[in-house]
Amino acid sequence: MKYIITEEQYAKLPENERSLFWIKRRFDLVNKELKETFEHMKFDICRIDDYEKFEKKFFTVLMDSLHPYYYDDDSIGSVEYDTMHELLKDLFYVDCTEFYFAGREKC
């Protein structure tokens, strides 16, 4: 089932839901940028021996790669940005963890 909401309804959503809808609307784009982030971070797996540091850098790179897309969106402020960062961490935590530890075995 698909839900279609107007921009006016979208603007009235709380920050968490607004950020989640932004991600859902552009999920193909987010997946594309996630794959590019995996490519960029391959080199850093062997350099960073602490998973928390790697995770922080990984999601920072992912957010930076999405920057041109949410920068043009007037509804994304600093609160929505922080919320989006946390949502992406929740959504792709397992992917990031598996990527890191599979790569660490090759170091």
Would you state the pLDDT for residue 81? 74
| Structure-model confidence comparison of residues 40 and 11, the more confident one | 40
Tell me, yes or no, whether 11 lies in a domain: no
CA 38 to chain centre: 12
pLDDT in tens, 26-40: 899 999 999 999 999
3 state SS of 37: helix
Tell me, yes or no, whether 6 lies in a domain: no
Tell me, yes or no, whether 12 lies in a domain: no
| Structure-model confidence comparison of residues 81 and 76, the more confident one | 81
Tell me, yes or no, whether 18 lies in a domain: no
Would you state the pLDDT for residue 5? 59
Total number of domains in the chain = 1
Q: Is 83 exposed, middle or buried (0-12, 13-18, 19+ CB in 10 A)?
A: buried
Full residue range of the structural domain in which residue 62 is found: 31-104
- pTM beyond 0.85, yes or no: no
Would you state the pLDDT for residue 95? 95
Would you state the pLDDT for residue 36? 96
Reported confidence tier of residue 85, pLDDT bands at 50, 70, 90: confident
